[in-house]
Structure 1
């Protein structure tokens, strides 16, 4: 096996962020250097506590959890509704034994400056921490081999008819990050995640593996299916998207995603479409700097989750 790919995961756990952490912590081809937490789904205190719970569950307390920013990088045009009353702030996992490490932005800057090989950076929450790190040292982009952002929407709706929640929470940060000169930037949109929802049968398949990671992921999927019953199409299918792990999956099985090249900007002035991701002329294959994932192979995604969280080394081909 070749050397593992060093990865930093930045997010706001959350059930789907939790599965992303499990996938990054347990996949044999990834070396999880640390998890940085950010506001978003809930207050930073809760997202940090949730990250610690997930890592302790699978015996990865050696991975540092670094609490980051708890508000947008610059003031929003319009107030953000406080909290998410529709989601419990704490994951239904044992309380953590491990403690949080040093602050996220300082740790990100120091880690990327010291990197001797390119680091993969996966962002599954508002991009506040990344924007703050870039403001401290814009040259950090040279240390990032690939940046995968779970965010944006091409044609699918998000938290508003126009905007996906991670970008909508901090459009200024998203604009800063998407404009920075990263050598390889992939945007995993809601179009991709909604194209590969998980079902109760997938949850049962995960649970059958019996490992702590697989059983926890199964419970999260079941809870998400219940939550998404408010969506008529998903209720009819008995399914729910599992957004954030798809961004981690892109590192190890990039061809399970269908991508387009695009020029992307973030809407920050129009109050009606605030936080929308705008794709020049829909897509710009000739000049597009960003790879935009718009579809995913559902079967291969579920296979990858089961193999990794169930404890078997996943295969790359031939599913």
Structure 2
């Protein structure tokens, strides 16, 4: 055993997923086994290409990238375009010399079946790949030490007044995954990520570090700040949330987040509140213990990013 925590990321790679990959690829306490890609921010061909570019940037050509599903696990109540028209599909990074590996769901199942020590899973996009892997072989639950899901919202508004985008993209997959009896399941909500925005000053500090990872992250933060100017609260602080890396940060700084114990139900039948995460302040032992992150320590989060990417 290396003493590092084996980790698999499942991403719909855009700007904040990119920083999550950088954090997982560069943190000395994590052993990144591979990255699976999924639809969400964009079509899976774009999220896969973005992921390859990020890993190539920091010389992690040893980490396999496995393209996954490009549509919801089961049909939605209403159609949803694959991808986002309000975001550019590609990251402003050099083209990768890497090629994608085997299909994501097959790779997830085979890797977890063969695991000789427990693995942490971090999902920062729609949960389509994970739901499909569970449907293929439920025994993989035994190999997962911890599942961290970037998704859901408690009081903060998301892509709708009720729903966060990752869950809203594929509520059926989210319902399947969040109901599965993982031994340790953490849901990092928008309430937590919105409590820890990065600012233009943080971007300048990142850029001053001078490493490829830190300079790329600085550009992504600046892009996000510009995009979030449409949000009144974020415009007021001159910042933007960096959602996805917070899910990776939770693996290495466990007390970074304020959590509550709860059970969760994903709304799948009411078109008005479709994709909402409904929390009950109780522990449902039969379905596993769910921790829900509702706040984050902004300064410690920022310092972790600086230290690791620098």
TM-score band, normalised by shorter chain: over 0.9
Answering whether residue 260 of structure 2 is matched by residue 260 of structure 1, we say yes
CA–CA distance in structure 1, aligned partners of residues 246 and 82 of structure 2 = 27
CA–CA distance in structure 1, aligned partners of residues 279 and 86 of structure 2 = 31
Superposition map of 1:139-154 within 5 A:
139-154=139-154
Aligned 8 A contact 1:152 1:167 in 2: yes
Answering whether residue 34 of structure 2 is matched by residue 50 of structure 1, we say no
Name the residue aligned to 1:242.
Answer: 242
TM-score, normalization by structure 2: 0.98
Name the residue aligned to 2:102.
Answer: 102
TM-score, normalization by structure 1: 0.95
Aligned 8 A contact 2:263 2:284 in 1: no
Name the residue aligned to 1:278.
Answer: 278
Aligned 8 A contact 1:150 1:188 in 2: yes
Name the residue aligned to 1:174.
Answer: 174
CA–CA distance in structure 2, aligned partners of residues 278 and 138 of structure 1 = 25
Name the residue aligned to 1:80.
Answer: 80
Name the residue aligned to 1:206.
Answer: 206
Aligned 8 A contact 2:187 2:291 in 1: yes
CA–CA distance in structure 1, aligned partners of residues 296 and 233 of structure 2 = 18
Where structure 1 has 5 or more consecutive residues not aligned to the other structure, the ranges are 311-319
Superposition map of 1:1-319 within 5 A:
3-280=3-280, 283-284=281-282, 289-310=289-310
Q: Deviations over 1:280-312 (max 9, x none)?
A: 2xx2258682100000000000000000000xx
User: Aligned pairs, how many?
Assistant: 308
CA–CA distance in structure 2, aligned partners of residues 81 and 271 of structure 1 = 17
Aligned 8 A contact 2:70 2:82 in 1: no
1:166 aligned counterpart, secondary structure = helix
CA–CA distance in structure 2, aligned partners of residues 286 and 36 of structure 1 = 30
CA–CA distance in structure 2, aligned partners of residues 187 and 233 of structure 1 = 23
2:226 aligned counterpart, secondary structure = helix
How far apart are 1:16 and its partner, in Å? 0.2
Name the residue aligned to 1:313.
Answer: none
2:102 aligned counterpart, secondary structure = coil
CA–CA distance in structure 1, aligned partners of residues 19 and 170 of structure 2 = 23
Q: Deviations over 1:246-299 (max 9, x none)?
A: 00000000101000000001000000000000002xx22586821000000000
CA–CA distance in structure 2, aligned partners of residues 180 and 196 of structure 1 = 29
Aligned 8 A contact 2:39 2:82 in 1: no
CA–CA distance in structure 2, aligned partners of residues 82 and 160 of structure 1 = 17
Where structure 2 has 5 or more consecutive residues not aligned to the other structure, the ranges are none
How far apart are 1:44 and its partner, in Å? 0.5
Aligned 8 A contact 1:146 1:184 in 2: yes
How far apart are 1:82 and its partner, in Å? 4.4
Aligned 8 A contact 1:260 1:285 in 2: no
CA–CA distance in structure 2, aligned partners of residues 2 and 48 of structure 1 = 28
Aligned 8 A contact 1:8 1:120 in 2: yes
CA–CA distance in structure 1, aligned partners of residues 81 and 104 of structure 2 = 24
How far apart are 1:71 and its partner, in Å? 0.3
Aligned 8 A contact 1:5 1:30 in 2: yes
CA–CA distance in structure 2, aligned partners of residues 144 and 84 of structure 1 = 31
